[in-house]
Structure 1
Amino acid sequence: MPAGPLSDATAAFGARVRARRQELGESQEKLADRSGLHWSFLGQVERGTRNVTLHSILRIAEALRLDPAVLVGGLRAPQADVDAD
């Protein structure tokens, strides 16, 4: 069984990427060509199973003709398990 999203943030980010890509009527392959990233990597991003770097976020946003803030706005990092001693 495939692993699910790494976090709520990666799932939401991936959903935003997918929605914009589909809005533009582009395939993952076309987005991959325009962003300089591999199509399988973009598939993982869209499924939320890949934690992307800042540079990848910037490349994806540029290829989607969006301000990166649109893709990351309101997202929160998962809380770390830290003992509050």
Structure 2
Amino acid sequence: KLTVARARKIQRFLSQPFDVAKVFTGSDGVQVPLENTISSFKAVVAGEYDHLPEGAFYMVGGIEEVIAKAERMAADAA
């Protein structure tokens, strides 16, 4: 279950908003340096972000945006 949960987070994390999709999504694209993506990917695989909800990983840029989105989600739920 843990492996599947991490895989789903990775799948959503790699769905970063692209500039070319702005026409369809209305959201600006995000440029994330490769090094940041790789280090964040490794951290997700290692379980450093197991405490964050899966939904926080969807359509965001770097891991900082994931954390911020998770905090907003928690605040909205409270």
**TM-score range relative to shorter protein:** 0.3 to 0.5
**Normalising to structure 2: TM-score of the pair?**
0.38
Length-normalised TM-score, structure 1: 0.36
